[in-house]
Structure formats: C-alpha cells, structure tokens
Amino acid sequence: MNWIPLTKEEQIAELMEQSKQIPCLVFKHSTRCSISSIAKHRLEDDWSFSPEEMAPYYLDLISYRTLSFKIAEDFQVHHESPQVLLIVDGECVYDASHLDISVAELKEVLPA
C-alpha cells in the first residue's frame, strides 16, 4: 500500500478530480492515538486494491489539523479521528471512524 501524503489544501481539489477516474480514500490518522494506529494497520494489512483501483491518501491530522477540518467541511462529514472517507465522483459516498474502518466495508460500498 502506497499512501499519498495529504499535506496541502490544493490537494483536495486534485483528489476530487482524480475521484472521477478512480475512487479515492482519505485516511485521517492521529499519530497520538492507539485506536488510530490499530485502524491504520488493519487497513494496510487487508489492503487489496491496486493503484488503478483506488488511490489511498493519508492525512496526519496532528500536523495538518486545519486541513482535516477543511476536508470535513468540504465533504460535509463530521470530523472524527481516526476516520476514512471514500470519495467517488467528487463526493464522499462513505465515511467510517474508529474500529468501524475496514477494507471489507469499503468493498461493500464501492460502486460496481
């Protein structure tokens, strides 16, 4: 799994545009939280998507808290940590937090 670091506000527009070609996953990770670390490891261990199937973005929300809130605002989701947002066609079609984060759940909600 090759995380794409999400560090700049301009990347949100790029991600939205990219999501018109392939789904994009945003993982908001708190480096200070053990549950967030567990969720991250579970995602990485179970990841079965190729780079052509899904683009995984990683946001260190401790370092980029403002960006994390901007993402929550832009995609109209409640800010949580850890959290995943699945972006398809420029919109958030699914979000989950804490131990509800799983690759199996992502596969279920992906458009056919």
Beta-sheet strand order (sheet of 4-5) = 4-5, 55-60, 24-29, 83-88, 91-97
Query: What is the distance of C-alpha 81 from the center of its chain?
Result: 11
Q: How much is the pLDDT for 99?
A: 86
Residue range 4-109 forms a domain whose CATH class is alpha beta
User: What pLDDT digit, counting tens, does each position of 75-100 carry?
Assistant: 999 888 899 999 999 999 999 999 89
If pLDDT is split at 50, 70 and 90, which confidence band does 8 have?
very high
User: What pLDDT digit, counting tens, does each position of 9-31 carry?
Assistant: 999 999 999 999 999 999 999 98
Does the reported pTM lie above 0.85? yes
